[in-house]
Amino acid sequence: MAHQALMLAGATGASQVLVAVLYLLAARGVAPSQFGTTVSGIALGTAAAGFIDFGTNNHWTRELARRAMPNDVFVGRLVSKVGVAAVAALIWCAVTGALFPGSHIWIAGPIALALVANQAYQVPLRSAARGELVALVIVADRVFAAVVFFALLAAGVATPAALWIALSVGSLGAAAVGWLLAPAEHRAVRPRFQFPWRGAHYFGLTVVATSSQALDLTLLSTVAGSAAAGVYGAVSRWTQPMSLLAAAFSSALAPYAARSSDLRATWLEVRRAVWMPFAAIALAIVVFFAAPLIVDVLLGGAYSGSAAVLRVLALVVIPSIICQPLVVVLQSIRRDRFVAIVMLIAALGQLVLVAVFSGSAGALGAANAALIAQVFILVALGLGVLRLRTRRSPGASS
C-alpha cells in the first residue's frame, strides 16, 4: 500500500504542476476577461462532474472491493452514468449556446462529460488496489492534454480554446486507458439502463458537504469585502501540498479498508504507509512556524496580514490530514450515513461561523471558522471509530 500511495502522490503532484503550466501558457497573450470566461466554464464543468458523480465512484469502489456488487451491475451503472452525463452535456451545450451565444459557458458540458468518464473508469483499478495503474491513468490524462494543447497552438488555435479542448481530450484519453487496463469483466458494454446512484446517496452528501466548504471565500468577500478575501485567498491554496500525501494515502487505503474484516485488520494493512500522513503533519508544522517568512518572500509586505491566516490554515490541515483516512475507514465499513451527517453539520457550521467571525476579524475570522469545523470533524469521527471499536471488541457487552 505504501508503494501505491507514493505513486499516487507523485502522479497527482506531477499532473498538478503540468496543468498549472498549461494554464500559465494559456493566459499569456490574452486579455484577462477572455481567459476568465474560459476558466469559469472549466470550473463550472468540474463542479458539475462532482454533482453528476454524487459519490458513486467511492461507493462502487467499496462494493467491488468487498465483492458485494456483481460485475454486470457495476458495468451497467457505469455505462448508464456516462450516458446520462453525455445527454446532460448535449442539452447544456444546446441551451447555453442558444441563450448565451457570446458566452463560453457551454464548454462546461464537454469538460463535465470527460471528467465523469475519466473518474468512472478508474473505479475498477482502485477497487482492485492497483494504485500504480491509477497513477498511470492520472499521468496519461495530463500527457495527452499537453500534447493536444501544443498541437492546437501549432495549428493556430487561440490559447483559451486550446486549453479546454486539451483538458477534455486528455480526460477522455485517460478514460480509454483506464478501460483498457481494467479487468475483462469490467470492459463489457451493458446497453440496458441501470440507475447509477442507487445506494450512493450518503457518499454523495459527503461530497456535497465537503465541496460547500469552498464557499467560505465567497462568503468572506460578501461579509468583509474584497480586501479580506484577497488576504485569505492569497494563501488558502498553499496547504494543498500538505494534503497531497494524505489524499494519496486515503485513496490507496480505500480498497484495503473495504476488504478488511475489522479495524485491526485494516491497521495491519496500512501501518507500513502511515508515515505519509505523519510526514504531511510535519510539513504543516514547518509551515506554521515559517509562515511570516514564506509570505514575506513570496507575496511581499502588502500581504503581511496573510501570515497569520496561513498559520491558522496550517493548523487546519492537521486535523484534516487525520480525518481523510478516518472518513475512508468509516465509509468502507458501511458508516457512510454517519460520515455524511458529520460533514453536513461541519459545513453548515463553518459557513455560519465565517459570517459571524469575518465581520470583525476579516480573513483571520474565516480561518478560525475553518479550524473549528475541522476540529469538530476530527472529534466526531474519532468518537465514531472509538465507539465502533468498543462495540466490536471481544469483551464489550452487547
Which tens digits make up the pLDDT trace of 10-68?
777 777 778 767 877 776 766 656 666 777 788 778 878 888 888 898 888 888 888 88
**Each residue's pLDDT tens digit, 66-88:** 888 888 888 889 999 999 999 99
Lowest mean pLDDT among 48-52, 120-124, 193-197, 275-279: 275-279
Residue 157 sits in the same domain as residue 231: no
**pLDDT value of residue 398:** 30
User: Would the pLDDT of 218 be above 80?
Assistant: no
Residues 226 and 139 in one domain: no
Q: Is residue 24 part of a domain?
A: yes
Among 115, 313, 288, residue whose Cα is nearest residue 216: 313
Whether residues 14 and 109 share a domain: the answer is: yes
**Within this chain, do residues 219 and 113 fall inside the same structural domain, yes or no?**
no
Residues 48 and 167 reside in one and the same domain: yes
Q: Are residues 208 and 173 in the same domain?
A: no
**Rounded mean pLDDT of 219-225?**
80
Residue-level pLDDT at 10: 73
Identify the domain boundary among 186, 211, 238: 186
Is the pLDDT at 325 greater than 80? The verdict is yes
Whether 311 and 372 map to the same domain: the answer is yes
Helix H or strand E encompassing 31: none
Residues in the chain: 398
Mean pLDDT for the chain overall: 82
194 part of a folded domain: no
Q: Radius of gyration over alpha carbons of the chain, in Å?
A: 22
Residue 344: what pLDDT?
92
In a domain, 397, yes or no: no
Domain termination residue (choose one: 186, 210, 234): 186
**Are 262 and 307 in a shared domain?**
yes
The number of distinct structural domains making up the chain is 2
Q: Is residue 196 part of a domain?
A: no
Q: Is the pLDDT of residue 333 over 70?
A: yes
pTM: 0.73
Roughly what angle, to the nearest 10 degrees, separates helices 226-233 and 306-332? 60
DSSP one-letter string for 287-318: HHHHHHHHHHHHT-GGGTTHHHHHHHHHHHHH
Q: Are residues 151 and 84 in the same domain?
A: yes
pLDDT of residue 361 exceeding 50, the answer is yes
Let me know whether 147 and 281 are in one domain.
no
Contact 340, 209 (CB under 8 A): yes
In percent, how much of the chain has pLDDT > 90?
A: 23
What residue type is 182 in one-letter code?
A: A
The CA dihedral of 252, 254, 258, 263, to the nearest 10 degrees, is 90
| Amino acid in position 78 | L
**Residue 191: inside a domain:** no
Please tell me the predicted confidence (pLDDT) of residue 381. Answer: 92
Comparing 55-69, 143-157, 296-310, 358-372, the range with the smallest average pLDDT is 296-310
* Average pLDDT rounded to a whole number, residues 307-324: 88
Can you tell me which residue has the cell 475489522?
Answer: 262
Co-location of 43 and 153 in the same domain: yes
Query: Within this chain, do residues 165 and 217 fall inside the same structural domain, yes or no?
Result: no
Reading the block at residue 395, the C-alpha cell is 469483551
Highest mean pLDDT among 181-185, 212-216, 286-290: 286-290
The answer to whether position 105 is within a domain reads yes
- State which residues form the domain around 241: 201-392
Residue 394, pLDDT > 60, answer: no
pLDDT band for position 257 (cuts 50, 70, 90): low
Instruction: Give the closest residue to 42 by CA, choosing from 23, 24, 56.
Output: 23
Q: For residue 396, what pLDDT is reported?
A: 41
**How far, in Å, CA of 43 to CA of 37, rounded?**
10
Selection from 169-173, 308-312, 332-336 with the highest mean pLDDT: 169-173
For position 262, what pLDDT does the model report? Answer: 61
| pLDDT value for 272 | 67
Given 186, 218, 241, which residue is the final one in a domain? Answer: 186
Q: Over range 183-198, report the average pLDDT.
A: 80
Q: What does the pLDDT read at residue 150?
A: 92
- Burial of 161 per CB tally in 10 Å (0-12, 13-18, 19+): middle
pLDDT one-digit tens code per residue, 125-140: 888 878 788 888 988 9
In a domain, 165, yes or no: yes
Specify the pLDDT at position 239: 72
Match 476540529 to its residue by C-alpha cell. Answer: 375
For 144-158, 234-248, 306-320, which range has the lowest pLDDT when averaged over its residues? 234-248
